[in-house]
Amino acid sequence: MSVQEVLPLGGVATGQSGDFRADHRLVAEMVKPGSKVLDVGCGEGDLLQLLENRGIDGRGIELSREGVNRCVAKGLAVVQGDADTDLVNYPDDAFDYVILSQTLQATRQPRVVLENLLRIGRRAIVSFPNFGFWKMRLQLLIGGHMPRTENLPATWYDTANIHFCTIKDFVELCDEINVKMERSVALDLYGRPVPLNLPWWVWNMFGEQAVFLLSRGSGK
Q: How far is the CB of 217 from another protein (least distance, A)?
A: 25
Own/partner pairs for 154-162, CB < 8 Å, 24+ apart?
Answer: 160/106, 161/105, 161/106, 161/129, 162/105, 162/106, 162/108
The residue type of 195 is P
When asked if residue 46 is in the footprint of another protein (CB under 8 A), the reply is no
Pick from 3, 9, 94, 112 the residue near another protein by CB under 8 A.
Answer: 94
Pick from 79, 138, 141, 154 the residue near another protein by CB under 8 A.
Answer: 79
Q: How far is the CB of 24 from another protein (least distance, A)?
A: 20
Shorter beta-carbon distance to another protein: residue 76 or 171? 76
How many C-beta neighbours within 10 Å does residue 2 have?
7
Q: How far is the CB of 61 from another protein (least distance, A)?
A: 9
When asked if residue 141 is in the footprint of another protein (CB under 8 A), the reply is no
Shorter beta-carbon distance to another protein: residue 7 or 73? 73
Report phi then psi at 36, rounded to 5. Answer: -110, 130
When asked if residue 192 is in the footprint of another protein (CB under 8 A), the reply is no
When asked if residue 59 is in the footprint of another protein (CB under 8 A), the reply is yes
**Cα angle 33-34-38, degrees, rounded to a multiple of 5:** 95
Q: How far is the CB of 207 from another protein (least distance, A)?
A: 33
Beta strand 95-101 with 57-62 is unpaired
First to last CA, the chain: 15
Shorter beta-carbon distance to another protein: residue 26 or 71? 71
The closest alpha carbon to 4, from 148, 214, 172, 184, belongs to: 184
When asked if residue 91 is in the footprint of another protein (CB under 8 A), the reply is yes
Query: Cα–Cα distance between 213 and 65 in angstroms, integer?
Result: 29
Site residues, another protein (CB under 8 A): 36, 57, 59, 65, 68-69, 71-81, 86, 89-91, 94-95
